[in-house]
Amino acid sequence: MSPISRGFHRRHQADEPAGRVPPGQYVTKDFPVLSAGPTPHTRLENWTFSIDGGQTAASWTWTEFQALPAEKVTVDIHCVTRWSKLDTAWTGVSLDTLLAAVSYDAPYVLAFCDGGYTTNLPVADLTGGQAWVAYSYDGGPLPAEHGGPARLLVPHLYFWKSAKWVRGLRLRDVDEPGFWEMYGYHMYGDPWREQRYAGD
Partner 1 sequence: MAGTAVRGRLTWQTATVSSVADETARVRTITLSVPDWAGHRAGQHLDVRLTADDGYVAERSYSIASAPGEPLAITVERLDDGEVSPYLTEDLRPDDEIEIRGPIGGYFVWDPPGQAPLLLLAGGSGVVPLRAILRHRSRTGSSVPARLLYSARSLGEVIYQAELAQPADGVEVIYTLTREQPPGWSGYARRVDQPMVAEVAWPVARAPVAYACGPTNFVEAVAADLVALGYQPVKVKTERFGATGGG
SS3 content of the chain, % helix, strand, coil (to 5): 15, 30, 55
- For residue 160, give every residue at least 6 positions away whose Cβ sits within 8 Å of its Cβ, in sequence order, or none: 79, 80, 119, 180, 185, 189
Least distance from partner 1 to the Cβ atom of residue 74, Å: 21
The neighbouring-strand residues paired with 22 are: none
Least distance from partner 1 to the Cβ atom of residue 151, Å: 16
H or E element in which residue 62 lies: helix 62-66
140 near partner 1 (CB under 8 A)? no
22 near partner 1 (CB under 8 A)? no
For strands 140-141 and 132-137, give the pairing.
antiparallel
> Pick from 44, 82, 138, 141: which binds partner 1 (CB under 8 A)?
82
26 near partner 1 (CB under 8 A)? yes
Amino acid letter for position 3: P
30 near partner 1 (CB under 8 A)? yes
| Nearest by Cα to 26 from 13, 38, 8, 39 | 13
> Pick from 35, 50, 88, 130: which binds partner 1 (CB under 8 A)?
35
Total number of residues that touch partner 1 (CB under 8 A) = 43
37 near partner 1 (CB under 8 A)? yes
For strands 166-172 and 48-52, give the pairing.
parallel
- Closest CB to partner 1 among 32 and 107? 32
Q: List interacting residues with partner 1 (CB under 8 A).
A: 2-12, 24, 26, 28-40, 81-83, 115-118, 145, 177, 179, 182-184, 197-200
